Every structure is written in structure tokens, then in C-alpha cells.
């Protein structure tokens, strides 16, 4: 965990944000007709936007963090490092490809720095919304606007964000728009939230970090790059992300898979159900 705001850490965070914004601009520059959709081995869609964003991010990370291993979704199937260092970067260059193809604005660019099997810095940019969320665990979490040419000084200062305490009544659960599975649905039937909000991509973590919702369960497998940036952001804002039994997640596994997790807006609510 990063315990204080060191100048080098601030420089790194700003650099990761600039890379994410450049990737967001690259995604937005591709017309829908030029997306060139194809199916990957797992039948999930991939487009020219995914690949262009990844190229922009990888190029930026070589300059910002030379020598630090990078695991990125589109390259992970054939080029992921076999032996990771204590620190490495997890990248999802376009999280929510299905939402992009459906014409929704719920897709993101996710970049996380992992240290000792835990994400410690997370950046989530939403290209279609012009919003970026960033967090350093032990320091702060923020939301800011950006322009297509980079972080805009005319968009106002970054806004500090915090999660909210678990409410006595009216808890809100946020769920995947495209991947709601039966086990998660059954869990929510037990919790009985007052409201469910369907959302795509890592924006679910962002809504928890902002205090809009209280719980985001996913009891089906996902990949580390899908959640690492959101995990760091949420913890920096006062929340928690754990296995369903309340134990910590560990990143850098051989297959980069997360079997299941529950994200909590209030870290004190872990294990409540």
C-alpha cells in the first residue's frame, strides 16, 4: 500500500492518466463502420478500437515505466510475461466492447499498477463520457473531466470522491448489464437490495467509489485486467473488493483469472451477507 503522496507517485499517476486519455481519444477517432469486429477464441468480441487503444497504451507504458512488465488483454493470450516481477501493470484497453458495439457510452480504458499481488494505483477513463477516475490506495480517489487532446485545464480541478456508509435502508446494488449470471442473481435475491442498477464495464466500480451504489457482486469468472483498476480506485475511495468469503484477491495468477468477487462501497460491510 502507498501510505503517502510522494512526488514520484504523483508523476506516475499523471502519466498513467495521460496515457489513458490518449487511448480514449484513439478509440473515439475510429468510426463505427471501421471497427472491424471479430470473435476471439472465447467468443467475446474484439475490434480495431480495442487493438488501437492497446497499442497506444503499450507505447506509453514503455516510456513511463521502462522495464516494468505489462499484461494487457489483447496480448495476454500469447505474450504475457511468464514470471512477473513484484510490480507489473494490468491493462484492459477497452473494457465493455459489447457496450461500444451497442452504441452505449458504458465502456472504459483501465490501467492499474499492481504491487505485491495487489492493485495500488488505478485509472479508469470513459471515452464517451469525457470522465476519468483515478485512485492511489492509502492516498485518495478523484474524478475529473478530460478533453480529447488530453487532461483539460479548463475542466476544473479534480474532485475528491468517497464511498458511502452501508445504509440502514435502501441499499443499491450495481450489476453487469451484459454478464449477469445465475449465481449472482441468486445472491442478490438473498441480499434484497432496494434497487438494482445495470451498468457496463469498470464504470460499476466508479459508481461505487462515488457513493452512488453500495454493492457490486460478480460470482462468475472474470479476468484480472477487467477489475484491477476499479479495485484500486474503489479501495482508495473507502471501499473493498474481496472474494465471496471475505478473503483478499491476489493478482498475477498464472491464468490471470478471478473466479468471483464482491465489491463493497463500505469496507466495514464486508461479509454482511
* Structural domain boundaries in the chain: 7-160, 172-269
**Cα dihedral value 52, 15, 141, 247, nearest 10:** 70
Q: What is residue 131's predicted lDDT score, i.e. its pLDDT? A: 95
Higher pLDDT, 240 or 180: 240
48-64 vs 7-28: helix axis angle to the nearest 10? 160
Residue 80 predicted with pLDDT over 60: no
Q: pLDDT band for position 6 (50/70/90)? A: low
Higher pLDDT, 156 or 23: 23
Q: pLDDT band for position 147 (50/70/90)? A: confident
| Per-residue model confidence as pLDDT tens digits over 185-203 | 999 999 999 999 999 999 9
Q: Give the fold, CATH level 3, of 172-269.
A: D-Maltodextrin-Binding Protein; domain 2 (3.40.190)
Higher pLDDT, 135 or 45: 135
| Per-residue model confidence as pLDDT tens digits over 25-66 | 999 999 988 999 888 877 788 999 999 999 999 999 999 999
Residue 247 predicted with pLDDT over 50: yes
The per-residue pLDDT of the chain, averaged, comes to 91
Q: What is residue 157's predicted lDDT score, i.e. its pLDDT? A: 83
Residue 78 predicted with pLDDT over 60: no
Which residue in the block uniquely carries the three cell numbers 452512488? 212
Higher pLDDT, 226 or 272: 226
CATH class of 7-160: alpha beta
Q: What is residue 74's predicted lDDT score, i.e. its pLDDT? A: 83
Question: Residue length, the chain?
Answer: 273
Q: What is residue 254's predicted lDDT score, i.e. its pLDDT? A: 86
Q: Give dist(CA 184, CA 262) in Å, integer.
A: 10
Planar angle of CA 1, 202, 270, nearest 5 degrees: 55
Q: What is residue 244's predicted lDDT score, i.e. its pLDDT? A: 96
Residue 219 predicted with pLDDT over 90: yes
Alpha helices in the chain (DSSP H): 7-28, 48-64, 73-79, 97-101, 182-191, 203-209, 224-236
Q: What is residue 76's predicted lDDT score, i.e. its pLDDT? A: 65
Q: What is residue 1's predicted lDDT score, i.e. its pLDDT? A: 44
Amino acid at each position: 500500500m502507498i501510505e503517502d503522496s510522494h512526488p514520484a507517485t504523483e508523476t506516475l499517476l499523471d502519466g498513467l492518466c495521460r496515457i489513458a486519455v490518449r487511448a480514449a481519444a484513439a478509440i473515439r477517432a475510429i468510426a463505427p463502420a471501421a471497427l472491424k469486429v471479430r470473435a476471439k477464441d472465447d467468443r467475446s468480441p474484439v475490434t480495431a478500437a480495442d487493438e488501437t487503444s492497446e497499442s497506444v497504451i503499450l507505447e506509453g507504458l514503455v516510456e513511463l515505466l521502462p522495464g516494468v512488465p505489462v499484461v494487457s488483454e489483447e496480448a495476454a493470450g500469447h505474450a504475457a510475461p511468464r514470471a512477473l516481477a513484484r510490480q507489473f501493470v494490468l491493462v484492459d484497453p477497452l473494457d465493455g466492447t459489447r457496450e461500444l458495439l451497442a452504441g452505449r457510452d458504458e465502456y472504459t480504458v483501465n490501467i492499474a499498477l499492481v504491487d505485491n499481488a495487489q492493485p495500488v494505483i488505478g485509472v479508469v477513463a470513459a471515452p464517451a463520457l469525457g470522465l476519468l477516475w483515478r485512485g492511489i490506495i492509502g492516498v485518495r480517489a478523484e474524478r475529473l473531466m478530460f478533453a480529447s487532446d488530453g487532461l483539460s485545464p479548463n475542466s476544473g480541478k479534480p474532485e475528491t470522491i468517497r464511498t458511502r456508509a452501508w445504509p440502514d435502508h435502501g441499499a443499491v446494488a450495481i450489476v453487469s448489464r451484459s454478464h449477469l449470471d445465475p449465481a449472482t442473481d441468486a445472491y442478490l435475491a438473498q441480499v434484497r437490495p432496494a434497487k438494482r442498477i445495470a451498468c457496463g464495464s469498470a464504470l460499476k466500480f466508479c459508481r461505487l467509489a462515488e457513493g452512488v451504489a453500495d454493492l457490486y457482486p460478480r460470482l462468475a469468472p472474470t479476468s484480472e485486467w477487467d477489475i484491477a483498476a476499479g479495485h484500486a480506485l474503489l479501495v482508495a475511495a473507502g471501499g473493498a473488493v474481496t472474494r465471496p468469503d471475505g478473503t483478499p484477491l491476489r493478482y498475477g495468477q498464472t491464468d490471470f483469472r478471478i473466479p468471483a468477487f464482491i465489491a463493497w462501497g463500505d469496507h466495514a460491510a464486508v461479509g454482511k451477507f
